[in-house]
Amino acid sequence: MNGHAILYTGVTLAFWSTILIVGICYTIFDLGFRFDVAWFLTETSPFMWANLGIGLAISLSVVGAAWGIYITGSSIIGGGVKAPRIKTKNLVSIIFCEAVAIYGIIMAIVISNLAENFSGTTPETIGAKNYQAGYSMFGAGLTVGFSNLFCGICVGIVGSGAALADAQNASLFVKILIVEIFGSAIGLFGVIVAILQASRFLKSMFIYISSTLALLNMSCCGQKLNVCFENVYFEYI
């Protein structure tokens, strides 16, 4: 076994044995009543949960975007050595990955704007609404974060394949781009659900706007593919 495997098995073993021993001690001393999940959930501050959500929203999205760009970028650069024509067209894959990070930062800003101060020190005085707000923001952040993480990885791997296929055969690029579009949509789903979680009153408007955008994207690219994307990348370049 290499060093990494030893380290990770050691850490896992320590973790599970700690849990086991603590559980056994709770049981044999009849102190099971002190293991109180409700106490944990009500005594920890809703601010912690909200800010964890915000932090995870942006950071996991950026991880996804970075991973995707790293994968695609390496392929574009590698393929571009032998087929330099691919470099400009394949930047669109990078843009799809970048979009994921943009979703993340927008959601982080939206969620953090929803956070407000509250007064109250005991669980009774804090009140259920504040706990709901804290947990909702945490959930929303997790949702958008993990969705964008896997979306970014997906787009990255597909984009890498697209670059290498394009280097071999230029007509393959456009078809693979459709796969990339579907991969990008899942990030958008995460954003929608996160908005639903964080602010229930905004849900109808956002569903409308985001679904319109998604449909426009897909229809545009379906009918007039080259025109659509060349316009896009001309703007960027």
Given the rule CB under 8 A, which residues bind another protein? 4, 33-34, 39-40, 43-45, 48, 52, 59, 78, 81, 84, 121-125
In the bound state with another protein, the residue whose beta carbon lies nearer, of 82 and 226, is: 82
Please report how close the Cβ of residue 52 comes to another protein at its closest, in angstroms: 7
- Nearest approach in angstroms of CB 115 to another protein is 16
Burial of 112 by CB count in 10 Å (0-12 exposed, 13-18 middle, 19+ buried)? middle
Give CA–CA dist 139/145, Å, rounded. Answer: 10
Which of 116, 124 has the CB closer to another protein? 124
The rounded distance, in Å, linking the Cα atoms of 137 and 131 is 10
Considering the complex, state which of residue 23 and residue 84 has its C-beta at the smaller distance from another protein.
84
3-state secondary structure of 214: helix
- Shortest Cβ 219–another protein spacing (Å): 37
Which C-beta is closer to another protein: that of 84 or that of 222?
A: 84
Identify the H or E element spanning 232: helix 225-236
Find the shortest distance in angstroms from Cβ 20 to another protein: 17
Q: 180: closest CA among 90, 105, 116?
A: 90
Task: Select 28 or 81, whichever has its Cβ closest to another protein.
Answer: 81
Query: Cβ-count burial of 176 within 10 angstroms (0-12 exposed, 13-18 middle, 19+ buried)?
Result: middle
Least Å from the CB of residue 210 to another protein? 29
